[in-house]
Each structure stands twice: as C-alpha cells, then as structure tokens.
Amino acid sequence: MAERVELWWARRQFSKGTAVPYPVGSYREAWASFPALIRQYHPELNAGIVLSQVPPAADVLLLWQCEAGHAFAATPDEQRHRPGRQRRRSAWCPECADLARPARALPMRDTVVPAGSSVPAAVASPVRRAVLRARRPRRAQQLCPKTPDLPVGEPFLSECAPPPASAVEARLRADLFARLSVTPGFNAVRVGRPFFEHVEVWPDILLPELRIAVEYDSTGRHGLEHVGKRADADRRKDRALRAARWEVVRIRTGRLEPLGPHDLQLSTWNRRGLERLIDTLRDIRGPLLIDPYLV
C-alpha cells in the first residue's frame, strides 16, 4: 500500500542506514522523458525531496500541482502510466481532466407541435428520430465457489491454482526453501476483493511465516508475458496482496522494469540472486525476524 512521502523516506533511511538513501540526481534519467511531471512536482510539497531522488517504481504518495493550481496525490507509477508523455494540460491532472471532458448530450425526442402553432419547421420536424432505451443491467460477477471461507490474508492450498510455469521458477522455489526454514505447500492467499473470478490470488512462492510473496517474472518465449495489460494485472495482484497485509517481491528478468519498491532486476537466477533476495527480505521484515529462519 502506498504511504506518505515522509513515512516512506524515513523507512528508507532506516533500511539503508543513511540520512540520504537516494542522492539528488539518482533517477534524473528515468524522469527526463516526463517533462510534464517535472513541471508538476514541487519539493516544498513533498518534505523537500526532489523528484530525482524518487525511484519511479516507489510505492509512495507524492503531491503534484498542475499549471492551473490543482493539487492532487498520486504515486510515481500512476503518473508515469497516464496516457501520453506530452499532451494537453488536462492529461496530467484529474480535476482538469474532469473539466475538459465534454458533457454527454442526450438524443432529441420527437417534438410535439400544437395545431396552429408558429414553431419553425426545423424545430417541429427533427431530422433524426431517436429512441431512448433503458440501459441493460450489469451482469453480476460470478465468483468461484471453491475458495474456502478463510480470513483475508490467510494462505492455503488451492485446487484452482495453476501449476508452476517454468523450470527457473521451480529452481527458485527449491533454492529459497533450502535457505529458509518456512512452511511449504501453500499456493494461494485469500484476498478481500475479487481478483477476476476469484477471491484468492496465486503467487509463485509463499513464505507464510514472513507474509511475503515472491514472484518470478520473465517476458516468456515470445516476449509478451508481464507487459502491457498483463503488467496491469500484476499490479492489481500486488495491491490485493498488500491490502491483505502481505508484501510482494518480484524477480524481474528480461529487462522488465520493477513494479514495486522491493522488486529485483536480475539477468538470471543464481546464488548471487538468492543472496540479494535474502537481503531484500531483511529490508522488508528486518534481520531480527528473517535470520532465525535461515538454514
């Protein structure tokens, strides 16, 4: 769940052990292609933190101000994925966008003219006859009845979960469970909101004692996995897990950009990647909780 910039900055100071976890200019190149966002960002509204100190994938709520003076809160990821990088002013501000959206015109009804009236013929005889129809009721979403009635956030073994998708994922799972003494066998987490037709999500790896889910993401054989709409589904899945008080770490390969604050970009899975993952778990839960589970 996104947090206020002051809390996010303090947490990063603690985890990195320094007063300035991200020096000024660290992410200048990442923000350079978004000039509209650079103009809208004001350090004085964000605890004095400049935009080049904020990772684009950080799950933090920043305050922005458009040219019309409207202030609004949004995460870096939300701002960067709005349509277009250089568009009209309303594209970067929700309030301006509402003002710029034209009002929907209703179709004209037939005009009834009393006999002997002096109403012009153009008004009395509309060019097109419109028929107003009742809007169809939205179809209720059908949820899978196989999800057990468990508290939100509870891990369990689901019969609906798909099998492991790749050999690398199986190797990652084996390496991680050989390094951590946690309970294996879970493949689903009960969530509070429907995720497609289920009220459960299926992370690749679950560490139930730590309440951390690990995902392995690659672009696949054809380069279409975890991009576009599938990346949007990944973000929805991460939000559902965080709302259930779980944290998510994604292992992103194949030049995939991070989606969350704890994601790791790796070229391949190896022992060094395992140690980086363990360090990330320490950053999330702290070494006092993680180290007792190490084998």
Domains in the chain (CATH in brackets) are 3-100 (no CATH), 155-293 (3.40.960)
DSSP string for 255-285? TPPP-STT-EE-SS-SHHHHHHHHHHHHHHH
Residue 216, H or E segment: strand 212-217
* DSSP state, residue 68: T
Task: Name the β-bridge partners of 214.
Answer: 205, 249
Tens of pLDDT, residue by residue over 118-147, are 655 545 555 455 555 667 777 777 889 999
Tens of pLDDT, residue by residue over 228-268, are 888 899 999 999 999 999 999 999 998 889 999 999 999 88
Rounded to whole angstroms, the Cα distance separating 226 from 220 reads: 8
Please, are residues 126 and 111 in contact by the beta-carbon 8 Å criterion?
yes
Please, are residues 265 and 252 in contact by the beta-carbon 8 Å criterion?
yes
pLDDT at 95: 75
Please check the confidence at residue 88 and state whether its pLDDT lies above 60: no
Rounded to whole angstroms, the Cα distance separating 40 from 275 reads: 39
pTM, whole model, 2 decimals?
Answer: 0.55
pLDDT at 71: 84
